[in-house]
Amino acid sequence: MTTIQRIEDIEAEMARTQKNKATAGHLGMLKARLAKLKRELITPKGGGGGGTGEGFDVAKTGDARVGFVGFPSVGKSTLLSNLAGVYSEVASYEFTTLTTVPGVIKYKGAKIQLLDLPGIIEGAKDGKGRGKQVIAVARTCSCIFIVLDVLKPLGDKKIIERELEGFGIRLNKKPPNIHYRMKDKGGVNFQAMVPQSELDGETVKKILSEYRIHNADVILKEDCSTDELIDMVEGNRVYVPCIYLLNKIDQISIEELDIIYKVPHCLPISAHHQWNFDDLLEKLWEYLKLVRIYTKPKGQLPDYESPVVLCKANPSVEDFCNKIHRTLMQNFKHALVWGSSVKYNPQSVGKDHILNDEDVVQVIRKV
């Protein structure tokens, strides 16, 4: 029996099983078994199956990376051409783009790499239409644009989400607040710090036993689902912000446009007419959460033209120094900071000080 057939059998059994307290442990065990089989599908045993394929291994450049994911002929190549000025073959037939086409834009001082990925089809996570290579590149992105045709958005959106979820990508979600640690002895120690709607000690033990884990500490610091616990145990999930771009808005009415604007994480655009690109770039900046830090050489004005862009949330002075050069911290004495992260300007701070967007930093080195 193939892995796909085993997955289908487990999904059929889950559909037949009633959801209640008595079956919660059994369903949790089935979900864990399903996650293990899907992992086998992503990374087959034996390490064979060839490489990523020509055109998919694009070198990462710039401060952030954005991937365009969608079905064939929804306007991804037109969007890249008009946003970045890069030629990506455009035609009226499907599967025009067969490899990853990169482009770069500069916005608010940050260099952002754009990747036009080949169109995916249903079953991509199982390897159809080179889907594994496409989704593997999407895993490395800082943000994902899911490009949809505005005339048939909902069906396409659900299929693409299912394909990405099946490959371990979690869209617009945060990692679950679960403390999980394996140990040598002592059994499974389960503790819930808030009331749980789905998980209990017995269910957690059944899920862990499916992974042959019999000694571990599990502390739930929020109301968590079975899937979130499995994600934590698997440890190979990536949490990526995502914007749904509803393209070809020149084909719908103003009333329909108003409804689209109210849907969370959605943005209507027209790649061909270049409509709403300003909103698109502003929303992208908001989702990337990049932090710009301006350098100030001693006795000179701050350099506002080329900021140091940090991708990390709550970056410290040490992160800023390491981004410039990893040897800078060896002779670090303190830093002078101007901006919203300090009480007065300038303020002398240590390496652990947290910086805010558009702070100005001058590093003082030991003599």
Considering only the C-alpha atoms of the chain, give the largest distance between any 2 of them, rounded to a whole number of Å: 73
Q: Tabulate helix, strand, coil % of the chain (nearest 5).
A: 35, 25, 40
What is the pLDDT, as a whole number, of residue 167? Answer: 84
Can you tell me the mean pLDDT for 89-94? 53
Can you tell me the mean pLDDT for 35-50? 65
DSSP three-state, residue 329: helix
Share of the chain above pLDDT 70, in %: 90
C-alpha distances in Å from residue 223, one per residue of 19, 160, 228, 229: 18, 27, 10, 11
CA atoms of 97 and 13, how far apart (whole Å): 39
What is the pLDDT, as a whole number, of residue 142? Answer: 94
Residue 283 makes CB contacts below 8 A (sequence gap 6+) with 243, 267
Range of lowest pLDDT (21-25, 223-227, 244-248, 361-365): 21-25
- The mean predicted confidence, pLDDT, of the chain is 87
112, pLDDT greater than 50? yes
47, pLDDT greater than 60? no
Nearest to 70 by CA among 94, 43, 90: 94
Secondary structure letter of residue 309 according to DSSP: E
229, pLDDT greater than 90? yes
Residue 326 makes CB contacts below 8 A (sequence gap 6+) with none
Secondary structure letter of residue 119 according to DSSP: P
What is the pLDDT, as a whole number, of residue 127? Answer: 57
Secondary structure letter of residue 87 according to DSSP: -
CA atoms of 228 and 246, how far apart (whole Å): 29
53, pLDDT greater than 50? no
What is the pLDDT, as a whole number, of residue 89? Answer: 61
88: pLDDT confidence band, cut at 50, 70 and 90?
Answer: low
334: pLDDT confidence band, cut at 50, 70 and 90?
Answer: very high
Neighbours of 281 (CB within 10 A): 15
Secondary structure letter of residue 25 according to DSSP: H
34: pLDDT confidence band, cut at 50, 70 and 90?
Answer: confident
Range of lowest pLDDT (28-42, 85-99, 234-248): 85-99
CA atoms of 243 and 171, how far apart (whole Å): 9
Query: What pTM was estimated for this model as a whole?
Result: 0.84
What is the pLDDT, as a whole number, of residue 5? Answer: 86
Query: For residues 177 and 222, is the Cβ–Cβ distance under 8 A?
Result: yes
CA atoms of 316 and 207, how far apart (whole Å): 38
